Structure 1
């Protein structure tokens, strides 16, 4: 079970770090995309920072299990908010799918990590 948790944690850390850095740096295309969903620029940077901190937490969680579970659960909650934001904005299923997939994978990672504690 540790191998599955480790693989998911590393993949999710890469995905969330890759998604978080453009938000923190305030890239214009990211601001436009999130602005279309009604997310202000200041909140975009907070979301990006949470994604980066969560990614670090997933990696550290490979050695400190409870931290990995907390990071995965936090990222699942963050993605639940993202899915809700996409639904509220009546976004297309194609645009909402990445958030939903990350939500499910984060929840599975949290569950696997919790089972291993």
Structure 2
């Protein structure tokens, strides 16, 4: 009797857990741009840039922030990570350095 009750209890709560998301899901629509959208009529203007050059600048800035200011989570603030996680990073001194090294690897591999 106890075994049947335990199985039905586990099945019931398992079904409830799997049927509802425990976090809000935000749907995003992917947009595509063409090369002509990024090029202005005046090629010599400051508006003309390469997306690849912009990404490498972000990576360099992120690495420099990590190198000089990692105890203050400057790289995490720069990339817009959640405030609570940034404060936890500061209080735990970057997870005693482990979390900080994981962040550096993620910045270098463009997974951050």
Task: Say which structure, 1 or 2, has more relative contact order (CA 8 Å, 6+ apart).
Answer: 1
More helix by share: 1
Mark the structure with the bigger radius of gyration: 2
User: TM-score normalized by structure 2?
Assistant: 0.31
User: TM-score normalized by structure 1?
Assistant: 0.30
